[in-house]
Amino acid sequence: MSSYFYNLNKTLKKINHNYLYNLPLIFKRATTIDKDPEKKISFNFFKKDILIENKKKLKKSEIIIISHYIGQNKKSVINNDPYYGDLFNTLNKMKKKFSVIFINHTKRSLYEIYEEYKNTNYSKIFVDNQFSIKKDILILGNIMINYIYFKIILLNKKLNKKNLEFVKKNFSFFNFLKARSTLRLIGYLNKVLDINESNIKYLLTTMEGHAFEKIIFKKFYLKNVITIGYYFSVLRKKPNNIFYINDKKFCPKEIFVSGKTIQNYFKKNYHDKKIKIKIFGSNKKIKLKSFSKNSIIKKKYLCMVAAEGIYSENYILMNFVINNIDYLENIEFLFRFHPIVNKQKILNLFSEHKNIKKIRVSTNNNIIDDFKKCDFVLYRGSSVCIEAALNSVMPIYLNDEKENIDPIYEVNKFQIKNYKNLNSIVKQFKNKNNLKNNLKYLSNLQSYCKNYYSKIPNKNLFNFF
């Protein structure tokens, strides 16, 4: 068990102050805390924080689903939720009474977002979570009172030196201040959920380990409501905090996962061995394309470089490639940036480097078009490695020796630390004598990745709700 999360779990139980679960930073891996250089605070005094399309339908809903709005403005995406796929249309066909809460993660107003969704045939609620002077002043007062109360609690707790050092480092006033976003969002969600409190039977939310999810689970812990966390993310060698924070009040009563690989992992590693873990499926549409001799043995290779939507991860990968490209044999690179990062900002940082012109940048909207021409994918924490493997593109993980964040770490044997390692892999694939072993390894890799995601079931949904 991760020593950090072990200590965190122990500390939360020892102090027994539920307010601490609002602190988002204590639940995050250090490597995922990334400063977005583009992010700015928006001062909109007239914006609406909650937009309920139909309050009567909300009151009658037996199923409440929490999803996220991240800028999906195409009709195909509106009809097919980025997280739940065709679930909403299927529930309509099943004549289920349900409502969907969309948390807005963009700068668009709730009215603009509603216009995109107004032709969809289900009950919708849109919730904003942007900075608000009036609300944030009240929240700041709340934080200060609870921080003082927290300090008083500590005086009455018998903590040893090691425990006190952990508390001092991770429960600072700065971390309390970071709870503003959680407290603001929970306030809005509670206003919506309280409208429906008497009729709700199921509450389904994405489950990524965020603080607000834990607070929502706790809200319904003692009520006759089945709370469900949908884990659609990837696996890590050092897992998400949800595998360690084991106070049942802050955990779902059931878990939905994207595929058999994730289900098996949860059964082995989740703290509650009695909880139901169901394969709900994934919205990802992936077709298997087998590896062949022609896709392995080539004179020259093209390697896609795919980073997560985290600026620090983009810098790590770019830095490796641009500083080692002169030493790499028979391999070229194609950078594919995550849509939420400003690729020009990243490229500008390396604009003076002598090798910047040797870097190609993808202009394809569809990643499949890049898979068709690439042989390898160089990555770190991106789930692109799974999709790449299923499209006969060989995943190579760049290990910075700090923390393994490879989503396929359980089966991936191609991990590099320097350009020599990468040259060695290229030579291995060029060698015809290794063809049989290479194809066997890649076949096993694809079998593992194939079970990562399943289709979201339609007929079987009666078994879920």
What's the burial of 324, exposed, middle or buried (CB within 10 Å: 0-12/13-18/19+)?
middle
Tell me what pLDDT residue 458 has. 63
Residue 273 CB: number of other CB atoms within 10 A?
A: 8
Q: How many Å apart are CA 20 and CA 12, to the nearest integer?
A: 7
Beta strand segments in 207-345, E:
226-231, 254-257, 276-279, 301-306, 331-336
User: What H or E segment, with its residue span, contains residue 386?
Assistant: helix 384-390
Could you tell me which residues are beta bridge partners of residue 395? Answer: 377
Q: What is the CATH number of domain 293-450?
A: 3.40.50.2000
3-state secondary structure of 196: coil
CB 284 within 8 A of CB 236: no
Q: How many Å apart are CA 280 and CA 290, to the nearest integer?
A: 26
CB 223 within 8 A of CB 196: no
Please state the pTM of the whole predicted model.
Answer: 0.85
Angle at 379 between CA 378 and CA 380, to 5 degrees: 145
Q: How many Å apart are CA 230 and CA 243, to the nearest integer?
A: 14
Could you tell me which residues are beta bridge partners of residue 331? Answer: 301
Numbered ranges of CATH 3.40.50.2000 in the chain: 3-132+176-284+457-463, 293-450
Tell me what pLDDT residue 41 has. 52
Which residue from 319, 338, 331, 321 is spatially nearest to 382, judged by alpha carbons?
A: 338
Q: How many Å apart are CA 265 and CA 408, to the nearest integer?
A: 12
φ, ψ for residue 143 (rounded to 5)? -65, -45
Q: Output the six-digit token pair for 221.
A: 């812990």
Q: Which amino acid is at 269?
A: N
Q: In which residue are the tokens 């204590």 written?
A: 26
Tell me what pLDDT residue 412 has. 94
Q: How many Å apart are CA 100 and CA 140, to the nearest integer?
A: 30
Q: Output the six-digit token pair for 343.
A: 């690729």
Could you state, in chain order, the average pLDDT of each consecutive group of 10 residues for the chain (465 residues)? Answer: 83 92 83 49 66 95 94 63 90 93 91 90 92 85 96 88 90 94 95 92 95 96 96 83 92 95 93 94 82 87 92 93 93 90 90 91 90 95 92 94 86 94 93 92 93 79 79
CB 396 within 8 A of CB 414: yes
Question: Chain centroid to CA 40: how far?
Answer: 22
CB 306 within 8 A of CB 336: yes
Which CATH architecture group holds 3-132+176-284+457-463?
Answer: 3-Layer(aba) Sandwich (3.40)
CB 297 within 8 A of CB 432: yes
Q: In which residue are the tokens 């201040």 written?
A: 177
φ, ψ for residue 278 (rounded to 5)? -110, 140
